[in-house]
Amino acid sequence: MTLASEAAALPAESAWRNAQRQFDRAAELLDLTQPLRAILREVHRELVVHFPVKMDDGRVEVYTGFRVQHNLARGPAKGGLRFHPDTDLDEVKALAMWMTWKCALANIPFGGAKGGVTVDPQALSRAELERLTRRFASEISLLVGPASDIPAPDVNTSAQVMAWIMDTLSMDAGYSRPAVVTGKPLAIGGSRGRPEATGRGVSIVALDACRRLGMDPTTATVAIQGFGNVGSVSARMLAARGFRVCAVSDVNGGIHNPGGLELEEVEAHLRRTGRLAGLPGAREVSNAELLELPVDVLVPAALESVITAGNAGRIQARLVVEGANGPVTPDADAILERRGITVVPDILANAGGVTVSYFEWVQDLQSFFWDEDDINIKLERVMRRAFAETAEQADARRVSLRMGAYLVAVQRVAEATSVRGIFP
Ligand code: GLU
């Protein structure tokens, strides 16, 4: 059997099932009532749309897109939109649930949502991408709005994509509606600091985690999987805080130099050649190899379910900081915990993005914009408080940081859901 067919024969790891397993464990520890368990382990709304897009060559392609809202008890639904060939309803439901916990942990007044389109955007021209985005925006407009559900960038979606969505929904209304999406360009109501926010947040909690473990960041080595917005900014911010970034990768594979990578050279090489491979002085590694490198800190910042029961036993890092959503499966979590490897969970580690999205939404609603310093100070405060609350719960209940974070987050959502009661 070839490797590919072997992989195809295995049941794929279900992100939604993993998200529910994590919730169930927290519900058990919190001793949640039956109604709360039943409500919170399911999503609230799921919209699936099939929509046509005119291609440059005259053909029409029909694409499938999703917008799922998990819970609205604490405020409007919030969460990104991703364009990826593997995006499906199961994945989007998991990502929506994780957004609910993430917003609750950061203590920002949002519920959780996520959306996406099953598409490889690299295979589209810019004009096709714009038409796909605008049509998708129109299709999900029955859910989206500043008071109801506010999308943002995620995997393979950019500030430009957000600008097209904002423009589409504004054209429909007849006036500009900046607060319908976050992660927009500055020119149309975006926030200072938003493009760097997730990576900045990753570096803030990585420092807190080092303090907790008694690790010296200035001698710590780091490997980062994913070199999109989250991975590349995390690399830059971690290096600025003294960490030695030794390995990075993108969809095409990665590079490793145990002595440390010069990130400006990496970015310049990537811009010039379109690839990380071939950087002088760095050895090529696959994405799977990168995860198992002998480094102190591992930052999976690409897609979900990359650390599974299959490779968790071979992870060498002492600290895993989840830049991506859902990169470590529950089975892998148990193995890492047994091996004494600390995981800073996604709902804490990558909450910087949605936190500055919240600041952007507030600025748009009041039409009054803040300095970058104000934003970064407020972001740091939110991240450090969330870390401290997570660590406190983890220590009090003798559980992992993931469960500590879930205990704080699920408790907040449960309280809001319960005090509102069940309609009618
Ligand atoms: N897509 C990001 C996330 O997974 C940001 C979401 C947002 O800003 O609404 O947290």
What architecture is domain 42-177? 3-Layer(aba) Sandwich (3.40)
| The pLDDT of residue 121 | 98
User: Domain limits of the chain?
Assistant: 42-177, 197-349
Q: From residue 202, give the alpha-carbon distance in Å to each of 90, 373, 387.
A: 26, 18, 11
Please say if the pLDDT value at position 4 is more than 90.
no
For 197-349, CATH gives 3.40.50.720
Mutate to test the pocket of ligand 1, among 84, 357, 362 (most ligand atoms within 8 A of CB): 357
Q: Which amino acid is at 157?
A: T
Q: How far is the CA of 83 from the centre of ligand 1 (A)?
A: 14
Check if the beta carbon of residue 136 is closer than 8 Å to that of residue 101. Answer: no
Distances (CA, A) of 19 to 299, 350, 353: 20, 16, 20
For 346-367, what is each residue's pLDDT tens digit?
999 999 999 999 999 999 999 9
Q: Which atom of ligand 1 is nearest to the CA of 354?
A: 8
Q: Does residue 11 carry a pLDDT above 50?
A: no
- SS3 category, 401: helix
114 noted as active-site residue: yes
The answer to whether residue 13 scores a pLDDT higher than 80 is no
Q: Which residues pair with 253 in a beta bridge?
A: 250
| Residue 424 binned pLDDT confidence (cut-offs 50, 70, 90) | very high
| Peptide bond before residue 345 is cis, with ω within 30 degrees of 0 | no
- What lines the ligand 1 site, CB under 6 Å? 78-80, 102, 152, 154, 182-183, 325, 350, 353-354, 357
Which of 149, 184, 196, 354 best tests ligand 1's pocket when mutated (most atoms within 8 Å of CB)?
354
What is the residue whose two structure tokens read 């983890």?
Answer: 394
Average pLDDT, the chain: 96
C-alpha 159 to ligand 1 mean position (Å):
13
3 alpha carbon – ligand 1 mean position (Å): 34
Q: Does pLDDT of 115 surpass 60?
A: yes
Q: Any idea which of 4-13, 15-24, 327-336 has the lowest mean pLDDT?
A: 4-13
Percent of the chain with pLDDT over 90: 97
Q: pTM for this structure?
A: 0.96
State the closest ligand 1 atom to the C-alpha of 155, by its place in the atom list counted from 1: 1
pLDDT tens digits along 386-418: 999 999 999 999 999 999 999 999 999 999 999
Specify the residue for token string 């099932």: 17
For residues 244 and 224, give the distance between their C-alpha atoms in angstroms, rounded to a whole number.
Answer: 11
Is the pLDDT confidence value at 3 over 70? Answer: no
Q: Is the pLDDT of residue 9 over 70?
A: no
Which amino acid type is present at position 42? E
Active-site hit among 102, 114, 184, 378:
114
Please compute the mean of the pLDDT values over residues 153-182 and round it to a whole number. 98
User: Cα of 391 to ligand 1 centre, how many Å?
Assistant: 23
Phi, psi of 60 (to 5 degrees): -120, 130
CA 115–ligand 1 middle distance (angstroms)? 11
Backbone angles phi, psi at 351, to 5 degrees: -75, -10
Report the phi/psi class of residue 305: left, alpha or beta, with left for phi > 0 and alpha for psi in -120 to 50.
left
Q: 171-198 pLDDT, tens per residue?
A: 999 999 999 999 999 999 999 999 999 9
Q: How far is CA 10 from CA 7, 85, 288, in A?
A: 5, 19, 18
Share of the chain above pLDDT 70, in %: 97
Residue range 296-341, pLDDT digits in tens: 999 999 999 999 999 999 999 999 999 999 999 999 999 999 999 9
Are 56 and 128 a contacting pair, CB within 8 Å? Answer: yes
CA-nearest residue for atom 7, ligand 1, is 354
Determine the pLDDT at residue 7: 39
